Amino acid sequence: MNAPAALTAEDATLVAGVRARERRALAKAITLIESSRADHQERAHAVLDALLPQAGNSIRVGITGVPGVGKSTFIEALGLHLIAAGHRVAVLAVDPSSSISGGSILGDKTRMESLSQREEAFIRPSPSSGSLGGVAEKTREAMLVCEAAGFDVVIVETVGVGQSETTVAGMTDVFVLLQLPNAGDDLQAIKKGIVELADVVVFNKADIDARAAEMAAAQMRSALSMLHAASPNWQPPVLKTSAAKKEGIAEFWQAIENYRQTMTASGELTARRRHQAQAWMWQLIDSGLRHRFRDHPGVQAALPALTQTVESGATTPTAAAHRLLNLLNRFF
């Protein structure tokens, strides 16, 4: 096992800059983390190791919802509300669509314009390349750097693309589902299992049709009461907001505070973070092993022919996987 790399003089300055809450240093540290160059990765690990003691002191809030539900409007209203209450707010995004489609759903620059101009806010779009696992890993690390830079609220936003909700729920303290007040949206979220991840459900755009919003909220409450609650101490509340009119934002934050207090008192928040750290480690081990496997000269030599025999039915997938994995033993 390699010892963590020592900080270069340049990176020691970077670390000091992050601790001193300098935005440029923060942005630079995240860029280093996001780089896929091997030497940058090594430096990034050293920077993260150095910053780790200052990380962890934030509430990590995951927010998801379909495109158009009002995520950026909501986060902007929330961010401004929190800044007015003395908080410092970092907003990060996990958007695997950029690697799937080449275009980003979350990435356009005009989002959260007022919030982005505030000194107490830091907004960073999603890393633009890599698998969901890769994007998530970099976002998780960026979150730690933001915490070391004194941001006490970190919001991680994602859009419903495949597994991204589970991934973001797995890196945050509290997971929020933004919904549109219509039953179709409800059913989608319930079917996809996203409702089960939610610690708080919010019906946004309640200003458009208050009655419809109340009905949707009531339906959701009854759906939630039938689900097995993730915690014996917390029944996810269902709220209504109008992000556009900045209504319901204070009540929303109160619900997050309640959640934090309850889950801290029961020890579940600490347990959740511990579990997340362990799961993260295993994810990294899994992906590291996968890389080593693919890069292994013996595997590279045998893989094309074996893949063909599996495709043609001459070898079973089980036998082929066994043979390929055995190749690792010879060289490890």
Residues that bind ligand GDP (CB under 6 A): 65, 67-73, 204-205, 207-208, 242-244
**For residues 51 and 63, what is the distance between their CA atoms, to the nearest angstrom?**
25
Q: State the minimum distance, in angstroms, from the CB of residue 263 to ligand GDP.
A: 26
Q: Which is nearer to ligand GDP, 49 or 207 (CB)?
A: 207
Structure tokens at 241: 């907001």
Instruction: Identify which of residues 211 and 330 has a Cβ nearer to ligand GDP in the complex.
Output: 211
Burial class of 68 by CB neighbour count within 10 A (0 to 12, 13 to 18, 19+): exposed
Closest CB to ligand GDP among residues 167, 242: 242
Residues 6+ apart with CB under 8 A from 327: 296, 298, 299, 302
By residue count, the chain amounts to 332
Q: Whole-number minimum distance, CB 111 to ligand GDP, in Å?
A: 7
CB of 254 to ligand GDP, least distance (A): 18
**Are the C-beta atoms of 199 and 236 separated by less than 8 Å?**
yes
Query: Could you give the C-alpha distances from 323 to 85, 251, 318, in angstroms and in order?
Result: 60, 58, 9
Shortest Å distance, C-beta 208 to ligand GDP: 5
Closest approach, Cβ 180 to ligand GDP, in A, equals: 9
Indicate the residue among 106 and 146 with the shorter CB distance to ligand GDP. Answer: 106
Q: Which is nearer to ligand GDP, 28 or 71 (CB)?
A: 71
Query: Are 157 and 104 contacting, i.e. CB atoms less than 8 angstroms apart?
Result: no
